[in-house]
Structure 1
Amino acid sequence: MKYQKILLAAVVGMSAMLGATGAAQADSTEKTIRFGVDPTFPPFEWRDTQGQLQGFDIEVGNAICAHLKVECDWQIINFDGAIPALNSNKIDGILSGFTITEQRAKQVNFSHPIYSSSSRIMTLKDKDFATNAEALKGKRIGIVQGTSQAAYANKHWRGKGIELISYQNDDLAKQDLAMGRIDGTLQNSASGAIFFETPEGANFHMTGEAISDREVFGVGTGIGLRKTDNALLERINGALEAMVASGQYDDILQRYSKYGITAPVTE
């Protein structure tokens, strides 16, 4: 139950930043919630060999829907198109490794924080270098469009002799890394940890130190909702609070903690 205190502290700390803008438009009697997801980021979301969605975000989303007695309608999106899909009413929420930041909070409302995870550079096992601008000078580093990792690289590394190669999804970045077209990919550490367990990931490792920037990475990851959908926001937050109180949240977290997924960082 320790996450309950963390969640409540996060809510208080983020309330001024996120606000409650607009009148509630979501119908509280809706029987389906359409969650947008990019299934190229295990352990958060991926497709198994039968094509079924799996992952931490998927389990959390399905638990929320079960608590609210609605159906989860998982809509496949590219991550960089998540906010446009939300605001054009193609989906009702973004549940796909969506970090809570001030910049994004200008465009969407966020649920309570769900989890935190660090970011590092992944490269071939025979390579090793520090994760700072000086050490990366002359290297080609892959970033996925629209991610917090891309935002960090653009803020701290662009224009400093580092070639940033942009990809539409994580799978494409990993393919180019395997073929030697880039020197590394900046990505979520948990995503790397589960990749290393696969035959395809056996020749890779994380290098350098974990990066940090509160402005870029915020206080954790949450569900992004339209500014006008305050009723849906309240329902989802209520479901998350109930999951924490019952221990269901901790049960889900424990299944993924070996990858470095933790309760949200609020300090």
Structure 2
Amino acid sequence: MKKAWLTLSALALSLSAAGAMAKDYTEIRFGVDPTYAPFESKAADGTLVGFDIELGNQICKELKVSCKWVENDFDGLIPAMGAGKFDGILSSLTATEARGKTIDFSDRIFSGPTSMVTKKGSKLSITDLSTLKGKTVGFEQGTIQETYAKAKLAPAGVIIKPYQNQDGVYADLKAGRLDASLQDKLQAELGFLKSPEGADYVSSENIHDPLLPAATAIGIKKGNKDLQTLLNKGIKMMHDDGSYLTIQKKFFGDLDLYTE
């Protein structure tokens, strides 16, 4: 009997310890690089605005937890999350196979292709890389566009240039220090190209390449199943109650970002 009691006690302690390990979130901290309108940017008063921002806030609302945003350069988001500066990355983060080796992801948030932005009439073509030979193409460092540029553009004789944030890319494009830029197509068309500064520029067709997947999700620290389950629950709740569609329509009208 004593042996059986000890066995049951050990099992109870084990289950108790497992339960204690599960984190009960009352606040979710999202890391974000606010230089990527209309997904994430800063309003004139300094507040964070954009599609991702509203989705994150709605997820927290659905889950009845508080939401905190932590600003960080895009290429430092994954290391900063690993260092415990925030719980998840909600910043137009594409769910790639390479990133999946170091972090986990939530269910898909939206899908968005990549495009190239050039000055109108430039005759530069992403489907004919010979037109880009000797030209300079910029992109935000740490992105899938950087991976693509290093693997496909540089070997074709294209001069590639990384930037700390997307604002820097567009600043040099406007100043003539870049011939083209690579970025999310929706970000270009609904952000930069709709601004007065982007009036003389045009976006290319979608760039189809295995290095440029479209699925975007929330990045989560490797092995954090508690947060992954919680965020997936919040995403599903948004779709179930229609709040996702409401937010999507606010920023993109009748465009469907969720359907791949």
Please confirm whether the aligned pair reaches a TM-score higher than 0.5, indicating the same fold. yes
Correspondence list, 1:161-180, <5 A = 161-180=157-176
Q: Which AA in structure 2 matches 1:147?
A: T
How far off is 1:137 after superposition? 1.1
Aligned in 2, Cα 1:261/1:86: closer, same or farther, shift over 3 Å?
A: farther
1:235 aligns with 2:222: no
How far off is 1:181 after superposition? 0.7
Query: 1:204 is matched with which residue: 190, 201, 204?
Result: 201
What residue number does 1:192 align with? 188
How far off is 1:26 after superposition? 7.4
Q: What secondary structure is seen at the aligned counterpart in 2 of 1:251?
A: helix
Is the contact between residue 29 and residue 87 of structure 2 (CA under 8 Å) also seen in structure 1? Answer: yes
CA distance in structure 1 between the aligned counterparts of 2:94 and 2:41, rounded to whole angstroms: 18
How far off is 1:228 after superposition? 2.6
CA distance in structure 1 between the aligned counterparts of 2:101 and 2:37, rounded to whole angstroms: 28
What residue number does 2:31 align with? 36
Correspondence list, 1:94-243, <5 A = 94-132=89-127, 133-193=129-189, 194-207=191-204, 209-214=205-210, 216-243=211-238
CA distance in structure 2 between the aligned counterparts of 1:162 and 1:223, rounded to whole angstroms: 32
How far off is 1:189 after superposition? 1.2
Q: Deviations over 1:67-118 (max 9, x none)?
A: 1111111000000001101111111000001001111111111000011112
CA distance in structure 2 between the aligned counterparts of 1:110 and 1:152, rounded to whole angstroms: 21
Counting matched residue pairs gives 241
How far off is 1:260 after superposition? 5.7
How far off is 1:30 after superposition? 2.5
What residue number does 1:48 align with? 43
CA distance in structure 2 between the aligned counterparts of 1:139 and 1:86, rounded to whole angstroms: 35
Which of structures 1 and 2 has the bigger CA Rg? 2
Identify which of structures 1 and 2 has the higher relative contact order when contacts are C-alpha pairs closer than 8 Å and 6+ apart: 1
Q: What secondary structure is seen at the aligned counterpart in 1 of 2:258?
A: coil
How far off is 1:64 after superposition? 0.7
Aligned in 2, Cα 1:173/1:25: closer, same or farther, shift over 3 Å?
A: farther
- Unpaired segments ≥5 residues, structure 2: 1-17
Q: What secondary structure is seen at the aligned counterpart in 1 of 2:147?
A: helix
CA distance in structure 2 between the aligned counterparts of 1:128 and 1:235, rounded to whole angstroms: 48
- Unpaired segments ≥5 residues, structure 1: 1-22
TM-score (norm 2): 0.87
CA distance in structure 1 between the aligned counterparts of 2:208 and 2:19, rounded to whole angstroms: 35
Is the contact between residue 113 and residue 214 of structure 2 (CA under 8 Å) also seen in structure 1? Answer: no
What residue number does 2:252 align with? 257
Q: Deviations over 1:105-141 (max 9, x none)?
A: 1111100001111211112224232113222111110
Is the contact between residue 113 and residue 213 of structure 2 (CA under 8 Å) also seen in structure 1? Answer: no
CA distance in structure 1 between the aligned counterparts of 2:146 and 2:179, rounded to whole angstroms: 16
Is the contact between residue 144 and residue 212 of structure 2 (CA under 8 Å) also seen in structure 1? Answer: yes
What residue number does 1:63 align with? 58
Q: Which AA in structure 1 matches 2:172?
A: D
What residue number does 1:86 align with? 81
Aligned in 2, Cα 1:41/1:26: closer, same or farther, shift over 3 Å?
A: farther
CA distance in structure 2 between the aligned counterparts of 1:203 and 1:178, rounded to whole angstroms: 9
Q: What secondary structure is seen at the aligned counterpart in 1 of 2:182?
A: strand
Structure 1 stretches of at least 4 aligned residues deviating more than 3 Å after TM superposition = 23-28, 258-261
